[in-house]
Chain A
């Protein structure tokens, strides 16, 4: 008898403790997953935001936009970074998971550069030439006015949003040439191009120490445009994209909502610039 009362006492004590804990529960960790392109940016955001708000805890991981979406569909992440738009199939899977369409926020602008080796004399290529090179129609540098050597194409793994964006917008949905070497990240592409004087690769304009960024013209003989901030933001440079954050609309409140609106505020957008992407024009921040 005595024993049981003791137990119930303990149980009630535990319950009280638990309730207390729930009441002053510190803000739960915010998990962010997705695009490798955005990892550095997202980490910087998290770092600065956590510095300002002592009770915020944010965990950032990469893996690729596709990886982020698949985590979002399994409710394994709060925010999903993506360097491409969500696909219809992924919207469907999200609806199945949390009965709502995911909310989409544009959070930054990014230009995609085409890299070649420093020793390559070539300065500019047109969009059509890029398509032909990456689909394997053009196989030698001398066909586009370069030196006489076969072209080695470096690409990204197909879980990358950059891969899909490039395939859709530069290759016009044609396939990459089969001999394209797929590299695990933008840094690896750069690394490979820097070491291979016949190499060509693509990736964020923010990266790029060690290789040369080509200027790109919309058609052959047209004006060649450098992937600079000005040219990307005003839309002159032809290969650019938005960077997105997706989330379950039910979570878009409280600490997560505050974090998201901070990202799109002037403070957050200043960091975008520091990391090397381009901040959103004011009219797109809502």
Chain B
């Protein structure tokens, strides 16, 4: 014998429409609206990724050619050449080629020829002038350019020969990020432990918003403060040679990273059940012991998540690094300058002609950065899950 269930009628329908949009239309509308907003966020990330990847694809497939010396055809050839060949030679998209009148095409032919005849003899003789420097070999490996006495990693995108070695930039990003984290992580975690476990409530009320307020300072302000004040001060204290270097950038970066790491780590530590501390204290542990040996291990997944987010913030931070140091040196020393990937993109994107090899290389760097943060976030997530399961004893 079955009891007719009145609820069966009004439960799940299409997108929950039957569930109660009549009973509470406003709530139903809000729910759908929030759902759409969150969906659009995911869509946005996806679209941005597609856009970056699409602009960078010709580099990945080796379809760009950056050699300054290229074959040029006399203008009369224009009418003899098959249409498709001509279009390729002029580097136009089919739609643009179809829309262009003969006069413009002729002008383009002339300009192309003129550009080639204007090339000075010295460059024509230069063995590097025939190289396509956008190949992976030149992007990643050292090469002995003319005027250099040994193979080197060179990022000099503007000039007669475009040198696009990305290694100095990768190292620059890693160097500044590393320096930033070395300062920020211990400080932020120590502050989080203090505020969540040891501090008196009164002090907590002052310190917590204080540190969180740091994140409200615009990074341009942090950057100029670092460049003008901190750099001079640190050079006086440590006495190194280069005034603006990766170390100084790291100190500046840590000002941006500390609030991120602190906020999340503090939340994680506070959410460890109070009973853990109380049990430890009851067993005779000191407050300090309880914090270090009980609460910190228990909150470790959250603290780790904080560090991963801090890493993302540091490697993605542009303005501070841009203002403090930007020389593309190939050196692992923290006391040398550094040029990060973000700096490069920010400083050079406006200059690059849309669709040129420089432009595509910059997008390739953007895609690389995206991949790096994506992979670290994923690894971070995995580690957090493992830690959590381990801590909860669900091996």
| Residue ranges of A at the interface with B (Cβ–Cβ < 8 Å) | 63-64, 66-67, 69-70, 73-74, 88-93, 95-96, 99-101, 135, 150, 152, 157-159, 163-164, 167, 173-176, 178-184, 191-192, 195-196
B205: interface (CB < 8 Å): no
In the complex, what's the smallest C-beta–C-beta distance from A248 to chain B, in angstroms? 13
- Enumerate chain B residues within 8 angstroms of A195, measured Cβ to Cβ: 232, 243
- Enumerate chain B residues within 8 angstroms of A191, measured Cβ to Cβ: 228
Q: For A100, give its contact among B107, B123, B325 (CB under 8 Å).
A: B107
Question: Are B111's CB and A88's CB within 8 A?
Answer: yes
CA A178 to CA B338, docked complex, whole Å: 10
Question: Are B243's CB and A70's CB within 8 A?
Answer: no
Known A95-B111, A152-B242, A180-B327; contact A67-B347, beta-carbon cutoff 8 A = no
CA A70 to CA B244, docked complex, whole Å: 31
Stretch at the interface among B78-86, B189-197, B261-269, B348-356: B348-356
Tier of interface size on chain B: 35 or more
Known A70-B354, A74-B354, A88-B114; contact A178-B107, beta-carbon cutoff 8 A = no
- Enumerate chain A residues within 8 angstroms of B92, measured Cβ to Cβ: 96
CA A196 to CA B337, docked complex, whole Å: 15
Q: For B159, give its contact among A167, A178, A182, A192 (CB under 8 Å).
A: A167
B96: interface (CB < 8 Å): yes
Q: For A182, give its contact among B168, B232, B326, B354 (CB under 8 Å).
A: B326
Question: Are A88's CB and B330's CB within 8 A?
Answer: no
- Enumerate chain A residues within 8 angstroms of B326, measured Cβ to Cβ: 157, 181-183
B104: interface (CB < 8 Å): yes
CA A101 to CA B108, docked complex, whole Å: 9
- Enumerate chain A residues within 8 angstroms of B350, measured Cβ to Cβ: 63-64, 66-67, 70, 159
B7: interface (CB < 8 Å): no
In the complex, what's the smallest C-beta–C-beta distance from B68 to chain A, in angstroms? 9
Question: Are B159's CB and A89's CB within 8 A?
Answer: no
Question: Are B323's CB and A181's CB within 8 A?
Answer: no
B336: interface (CB < 8 Å): yes
- Enumerate chain B residues within 8 angstroms of A158, measured Cβ to Cβ: 156-158, 347-348, 351
- Enumerate chain A residues within 8 angstroms of B156, measured Cβ to Cβ: 158, 175-176
Q: For B147, give its contact among A73, A88, A95, A175 (CB under 8 Å).
A: A175
User: What per-residue 1/0 map shows which CB atoms of B118-159 lie under 8 Å from chain A?
Assistant: 100001000000000000000000000101000010111111
Can you give 22 contacting A-B residue pairs, CB < 8 Å? A66-B350, A70-B353, A88-B114, A88-B118, A95-B108, A95-B111, A96-B100, A158-B157, A163-B158, A164-B158, A173-B159, A173-B160, A175-B163, A178-B168, A178-B330, A179-B327, A181-B242, A181-B244, A182-B347, A183-B326, A184-B347, A192-B243
CA A66 to CA B328, docked complex, whole Å: 20
CA A99 to CA B242, docked complex, whole Å: 49
Known A175-B163, A178-B154, A182-B327; contact A159-B244, beta-carbon cutoff 8 A = no
User: What per-residue 1/0 map shows which CB atoms of B319-332 lie under 8 Å from chain A?
Assistant: 00011011111100
Q: For A95, give its contact among B107, B330, B348 (CB under 8 Å).
A: B107
B103: interface (CB < 8 Å): yes
* Given A63-B350, A67-B350, A88-B114, 19 extra CB contacts under 8 A: A69-B353, A70-B353, A70-B354, A89-B115, A93-B353, A95-B108, A99-B107, A159-B351, A163-B158, A173-B123, A175-B145, A175-B159, A178-B152, A179-B327, A179-B329, A181-B242, A181-B325, A182-B327, A184-B322
In the complex, what's the smallest C-beta–C-beta distance from A236 to chain B, in angstroms? 25
Question: Are B353's CB and A99's CB within 8 A?
Answer: no
- Enumerate chain A residues within 8 angstroms of B325, measured Cβ to Cβ: 181
Question: Are B352's CB and A70's CB within 8 A?
Answer: yes
In the complex, what's the smallest C-beta–C-beta distance from A245 to chain B, in angstroms? 18
Determine the residue in chain A with the shortest Cβ distance to B112: A92
Q: For B337, give its contact among A92, A157, A163, A179 (CB under 8 Å).
A: A179
